[in-house]
Chain A
Amino acid sequence: MDADSLSYIFLNAAIINNFVLALFLGICPILGVSGKLGTAFPMGVASAFVMLIASLAAYGINIVLGYFELEFLSLIAYIAVIASAVQLVEMVVKKFSPPLYRALGIFLPLITTNCAILGVALFQTSYEYDFLQSLTYSLGAGAGFILAIVLMAGLREQVDLADVPSVARGAAMSLMLAGVLSLAFMGFAGLGG
């Protein structure tokens, strides 16, 4: 497959270089919100949506800042856009689903500091993707994030029922699960050819 083709970019972002399991981006929500499938999936969708906005905005920001030769401001501009987008999502969730809003709690505003989202903006800039490629990349990254958080939530729901030694309960167990998932995802490394 051609490295610049849209299908490759999508697969690469979603599976081969999965943002969570291969690039270690967005670990905090993965450890924090993946306790139940019911909250994990909306969290993944909300993050993927912010990713999409951040990616489109970053593309525009790059053009504007490049025109004025102010590239050193790009980081500040990205994070400001992401923070506003998160605010938007927060208001929408609060209005349409108060129970979900309470379930996500502190992790909803913390999407701002989800490095996966800033990561999308930074990586698409460093790969010099054009508009369509950026769009595909952010969709792929979002799909990969949803996949990872749903897989983790499913595994953790099962582990909750198992008899785990008291020392290993909680974060250590989640990290080991993530490690095993990450091992499994390494198997996709050859997919791009």
Chain B
Amino acid sequence: MAAKREQEPITMDTFLSGLWRENPVFVMLLGMCPVLAVTNTTENALAMGLATTFVLVCSTGLVSILRDFIPKEVRIASYIVIIATFVTVVDYAIQAISLEIYNALGAFIQLIVANCMILGRAEAFASRQPLGKTLVDALGVGAGFTLALLCLGTVRELLGAGEILGVQVFPDGFEPWVIMLLPPGGFFVLAGWLLLFAWLKERQNQRAAAAKEATADGR
């Protein structure tokens, strides 16, 4: 089975499934902590998404290369150490690039280590697949994660401050919903997105069922 899987070609689908159908946040509900904590502005959300994607791609890549050398018993510990190494790299890199973003994200850069999405990808995908496919998959999942962060970040910044990326959108008379920038706002906005996706999926299912019934009647 494993050998057969490795022969499957890398398709666009490998990338897209991580981005949409198996979106780590909206579908798999993984890595929720940074999703809720640092999405009070669009800029923070983008920085966090990119940092996480970098760590994800590098660490799953390395796991994939080393997959035949890591003994099965200590694999989780090995993966964690690999991830922690790349997080340390990102931590110092962000500090060097922009101190402002570094202070805004605070401890959450280092907490990328504890993002279960990355460990999940390393364990479920990278440990069994060749390098090329792993990288494509990691890029897709990373993009999906960044997309989810941006979904939350823009809504929260728009409603909570009337701005997107620091540019004022609503007129001066708009009273900002400060609650959106505070912790409860994060929970509510994410719940809102999940509701939207669940509704879309249910509607799709109903339509599919209706279409099936129609063809059955036609016969």
Q: Do A and B bind each other?
A: yes
Residues of A in contact with B (beta carbons under 8 Å apart): 21-28, 31, 72-73, 75-76, 79-80, 83-84, 109-110, 112-115, 117-119, 122-123, 126, 166-168, 170-173, 175-176, 178-180, 182-183, 186
Instruction: State whether A79 and B30 are in contact (beta carbons under 8 Å apart), knowing that A24-B183, A179-B191 are contacts in the complex.
Output: no
Name the distance in Å between A94's Cβ and chain B's nearest Cβ. Answer: 15
From B37, B110, B185, A23 is in contact (CB under 8 Å) with B37
Q: Do B198 and A115 touch (CB < 8 A)?
A: no
Q: Do A175 and B202 touch (CB < 8 A)?
A: no
Q: Do A171 and B80 touch (CB < 8 A)?
A: no
How long is the Cα–Cα vector from A2 to B166 in the complex, in angstroms?
A: 37
How long is the Cα–Cα vector from A44 to B210 in the complex, in angstroms?
A: 45
Q: Which of B37, B113, B187 has the most CB of A within 10 A?
A: B187
Measured CB to CB, the nearest residue on chain B to A118 is: B114
How long is the Cα–Cα vector from A167 to B205 in the complex, in angstroms?
A: 12
Q: Do B110 and A80 touch (CB < 8 A)?
A: no
Q: Is the interface of B mostly helix, strand, loop or mixed?
A: helix
A-B contact pairs, 27 of them (CB 8 A): A22-B183, A23-B183, A24-B186, A25-B37, A28-B30, A28-B31, A28-B33, A28-B116, A72-B92, A75-B110, A75-B113, A110-B116, A112-B119, A113-B114, A114-B114, A115-B111, A115-B115, A118-B111, A168-B195, A168-B198, A170-B198, A172-B191, A176-B188, A179-B188, A179-B191, A183-B184, A186-B184
Residue B167 interfacial (CB < 8 Å): no
Instruction: State whether A27 and B84 are in contact (beta carbons under 8 Å apart), knowing that A166-B202, A168-B198, A182-B187 are contacts in the complex.
Output: no
Residue B168 interfacial (CB < 8 Å): no
